[in-house]
Amino acid sequence: MKLNFMAYRKLSYLLSLSLVILSLTFLSFKGLNLGLDFTGGNLLEVKFNSKVKEEEVKALIKGAVVQSTREGSLLIKFRQGFGEVERKLKSLGDYQILRKERIGSIISKELRRRAVLALATALVGIALYLGFRFGVAWSLGGLIALFHDVLIVLGAYSLTYREVNLEVVSSLLIVAGYSVADTVVIYDRIRETLRVRRGLSLEEVINLSVNSTLSRTLMTSLTTLVVSLALFLFGGQMLSNIVFAFVVGIIVGTYSSIFVASALVLDSYRIPLLSSLLLKTQT
């Protein structure tokens, strides 16, 4: 069965625009729960012998960020000294310290700078690769889809208030590479079909190309998603936080490769300047 994916492109644009607006809204008003890698300060992971709520810890330690884990422990980020905070926690009952970390402000600023530089370098490299391989008009669709994927993943972290640290930045880079790999496979098939099926319209060529790569795309995405879900559900708090980017990124990246990147190629053909650039890729 051949599906007419391009017939739903306006609906997909509306869905993507809604998700992007929601992500930007969460990022603007709620922000990201930046880890100690980027903010500096102290972190304690403790497990109380009795039930202690997040609100109790927040009321006790002013300015602290407290988060529960699936294992029943509490992650507490703060700027006070360890000794002061540990004494205050004693008033809530006996507990065990599972993790204890400290990162200075100078180190956190350098890590923030390097994380931004790594993301920027990766995106510029991907842009140059797409532009060199497919031309400006094609690469534009791939880049928009790429920014779309990364932004929605960040929006998901903001919505769930999961911690964003250096490991999560690494996950975002992998998600970007995964998304581009899917897009490149579809773009290659579109370009190949344009050369051998010249009697078809561009919309027919894109639908044919997406359908012919659909089984490969879905099999790759589903197998990767199953592994990522297993790690997310059973890998523990730290690993699940990192793999969360994979789970969201695989779903969004597969969707954008099929419905966003390919549809943008079709619509860019209708813009005079981009149309002339696109026509060059057919020869």
CATH code, domain carrying 76: 3.30.70.100
On whether both 99 and 111 belong to a single domain, the answer is no
Does the structure show a pLDDT above 50 at 283? no
Tell me: do 15 and 87 sit in the same domain.
no
Which carries the bigger pLDDT value, residue 137 or residue 175?
Answer: 175
Same domain, 197 and 251: yes
| Structure-model confidence comparison of residues 145 and 269, the more confident one | 145
Alpha helices in the chain (DSSP H): 9-29, 36-39, 54-60, 82-90, 105-134, 136-160, 166-196, 202-234, 236-256, 262-268, 272-280
Place of tokens 């990162």: 103
Quick check: 195 pLDDT over 50?
A: yes
Predicted confidence band at 107 (pLDDT cuts at 50, 70, 90)?
low
pLDDT one-digit tens code per residue, 114-135 = 877 887 888 788 878 877 877 7
Of 61, 84, 103, the one marking the end of a domain is: 103
Residues 141 and 183 in one domain: yes
Neighbours of 120 (CB within 10 A): 10
State the residue range of the domain holding 95.
41-103
Residues 128 and 239 in one domain: yes
Do 162 and 90 lie in one domain? The reply is no
**Alpha carbon distance 128, 133 (integer Å):** 8
CATH number for the domain including 22?
Answer: 1.20.1640.10
**pLDDT of 178 higher than 90:** no
Q: Is the same domain home to 71 and 137?
A: no
